[in-house]
Homo-oligomer: A and B are copies of this chain.
């Protein structure tokens, strides 16, 4: 028996679920300063990329690169930021963030740079719809 996968409560509290990709749950961070997604492999008890089985590592890479390309297109990003930190939330999760040279924190990394900004009105749903549409048009099942 392997333990079931449960999304860490902090990630549940901070994010909206966009979809399940083949390996990862795809989340949107509740911070309207930047299009900021998080990929969480649906595997229990994993803290580091290198703790994943090799096939899962390859799947994670595929999902990171596909998401990164889709976000760059969907949000006209100048640079993508990809990071697995996990110093606060130990469950393995990979940040994929669309950065623009005119965003609130540029060129600093986003963590702790400026206060979070809540999505207003239909901004969140619009961002999710745009992301889903772009993933779909690029052949990523969503």
Give the secondary structure class of A's interface: mixed
With a CB–CB cut-off of 8 A, which chain B residues contact A48? 68, 72, 79-80
With a CB–CB cut-off of 8 A, which chain B residues contact A107? 87-88
Decide: A83 near B83, CB < 8 A? Known: A69-B50, A108-B112: yes
What is the minimal beta-carbon distance from A118 to any residue of chain B, in angstroms? 22
Determine if B87 and A109 form an interchain contact, defined as CB atoms under 8 angstroms apart: yes
Determine if A82 and B80 form an interchain contact, defined as CB atoms under 8 angstroms apart: no
Contact string against B for A residues 85-118, beta-carbon threshold 8 Å, 1 for contact and 0 otherwise: 1111010000000010000001111011000000
Contact string against B for A residues 21-57, beta-carbon threshold 8 Å, 1 for contact and 0 otherwise: 0000000000000000000000000011110000001
What is the minimal beta-carbon distance from A29 to any residue of chain B, in angstroms? 15
Decide: A61 near B65, CB < 8 A? Known: A48-B80, A87-B108, A109-B85: no
**Interface assignment of A76: CB less than 8 Å from any CB of chain B:** no
Partner of A65, one of B50, B72, B79, B106: B50
Cα separation A71 to B108 with both chains bound (whole Å): 26
Can you give 29 contacting A-B residue pairs, CB < 8 Å? A47-B79, A48-B72, A48-B80, A49-B65, A49-B68, A49-B82, A50-B65, A50-B66, A50-B68, A50-B80, A57-B61, A61-B61, A80-B84, A81-B83, A81-B86, A81-B87, A82-B83, A82-B84, A83-B83, A83-B84, A87-B106, A87-B107, A87-B108, A88-B107, A108-B111, A108-B112, A109-B109, A109-B111, A109-B112
